[in-house]
Amino acid sequence: ELAGTAMGVLNASCFAGGMFLPVILGHVVDVTGSFPAAFLVAAGVQAAALIAGCFVREPDASRRDA
């Protein structure tokens, strides 16, 4: 029932990350002059996504339609 919505959110977030993260990481490299700082920013974004994913709950089975 919510599979389409879930896939839409997943695709939108992947495409948004693919569009904005290279620009942000390029700016970090320009400011710091090193790539390790950019990799740390990318790791932080992935860690934040992992933590956010831990709070997603499945719908309660007893509340589903028959």
DSSP letter for each residue of 9-32: HHHHHHHHHHHHHHHHHHHHHHHH
The whole-model pTM stands at 0.64
In a domain? residue 49: yes
Euclidean distance between CA atoms 43 and 59, whole angstroms? 30
pLDDT digits 0-9 by tens, 2-58: 788 888 888 998 899 899 989 999 999 999 999 999 999 989 988 998 898 888 777
What domain range includes position 25?
20-57
**In this predicted structure, what is the pLDDT of residue 10?**
86
Number of domains in the chain: 1
Residue 53 is predicted with a pLDDT of: 81
In the predicted structure, residue 1 carries a pLDDT above the cut 90: no
Task: Give the pLDDT score at 65.
Answer: 60
Residue 9 lies in a domain: no
- Residue 62 φ then ψ, to 5°: -75, -15
